[in-house]
C-alpha cells in the first residue's frame, strides 16, 4: 500500500462510512401512506396550477449531486486537501485541444468534462494529477502518457508551433 493510503486510511474509511449512511438515508424505501377511499370520494380533485420552472444553478441541485458534494467536502476536510481546487491556467477562452496528436473530439470532450480546457492546464499537471486524471478517462486511459499529451501541451501553451511541428509533426487542427 502506498504511504498516502496508509496514513489516510482511517479518514478515508470514515468518509466512506458517512457517505454510505447518507446514501442509505436518502434512498431507503418508505411505506406508502394509508389512504381512506371514503374521504377521497367525498372531495373533488382540482388540477394544480402549473408553477414556472426556475433553474437552480447552485452546486448539487440533485440529490445525488448533493450527496457527492457533501461527501467530497467531508473527505477533503479529513484528508486536509482542497476539494474544489481550480486547475491552474483555466483563465481565458478554451483552446482547441484537438490540435494535439492523439486528441479527437471524444477525448477532447472528456478532458473538458474533467475541467481541462486549455493547453496550460495540461502542461501544469503533476505526475499524480496525470495519474488521477488517467483513471477517469475510461477507454482513453493511458493516452496521456502514450501520446505524450503533456509534452505537446508544453509547446502549444508557449505558442511554439514550430517546435511542436518539429517534434510531433503538423498540427492536428486549427489553433
pLDDT in tens, 51-78: 555 544 444 455 555 565 566 666 566 6
Same domain, 70 and 143: no
Q: Rounded to whole angstroms, how far apart are CA atoms 86 and 123?
A: 15
Kindly report the length of the chain.
175
d(CA 119, CA 108): 11
pLDDT score recorded for residue 3: 78
CA distance 63 to 151: 40
pLDDT score, position 65? 54
Average pLDDT, the chain: 77
CA distance 115 to 149: 16
Verify that 68 and 108 share a domain, yes or no: no
Identify whether 38 is part of a domain. no
Closest listed residue to residue 115, CA positions, set 127, 133, 98: 133
User: Same structural domain for residues 125 and 156?
Assistant: yes
Do 115 and 71 have their domain in common?
Answer: no
Domain membership of residue 52 (yes or no) is: no
**Pair (149, 72) in one structural domain:** no
Band (pLDDT 50/70/90 cuts) for residue 155 is very high
Same domain? 79 vs 142: no
Nearest to 155 by CA among 135, 170, 142, 137: 170
Q: Do 81 and 8 lie in a common domain? A: yes
Residue-number span of the structural domain to which 64 is assigned: 1-29+60-85
pLDDT value for 22: 94
Same domain, 125 and 79: no
DSSP 23: H
Q: Does one domain contain both 134 and 80? A: no
pLDDT digits (tens, 9 = 90+) for 2-50: 777 788 889 999 999 999 999 988 888 777 666 666 666 666 666 666 6
Amino acid at each position: 500500500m502506498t504511504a498516502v493510503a496508509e496514513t489516510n486510511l482511517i479518514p478515508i474509511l470514515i468518509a466512506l462510512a458517512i457517505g454510505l449512511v447518507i446514501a442509505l438515508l436518502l434512498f431507503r424505501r418508505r411505506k406508502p401512506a394509508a389512504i381512506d377511499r371514503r374521504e377521497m370520494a367525498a372531495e373533488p380533485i382540482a388540477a394544480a396550477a402549473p408553477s414556472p420552472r426556475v433553474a437552480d444553478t447552485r452546486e448539487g441541485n440533485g440529490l445525488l449531486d448533493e450527496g457527492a458534494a457533501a461527501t467530497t467536502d467531508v473527505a477533503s476536510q479529513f484528508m486536509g486537501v482542497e476539494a474544489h481546487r481550480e486547475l491552474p491556467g483555466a483563465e481565458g477562452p478554451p483552446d482547441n485541444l484537438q490540435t494535439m496528436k492523439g486528441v479527437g473530439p471524444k477525448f477532447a470532450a472528456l478532458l473538458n468534462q474533467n475541467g481541462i480546457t486549455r493547453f496550460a492546464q495540461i502542461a501544469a499537471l503533476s505526475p499524480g494529477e496525470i495519474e488521477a486524471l488517467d483513471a477517469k478517462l475510461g477507454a482513453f486511459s493511458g493516452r496521456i502518457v502514450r501520446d505524450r499529451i503533456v509534452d505537446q501541451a508544453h509547446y502549444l501553451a508557449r505558442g511554439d508551433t514550430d517546435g511542436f511541428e518539429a517534434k510531433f509533426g503538423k498540427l492536428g487542427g486549427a489553433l
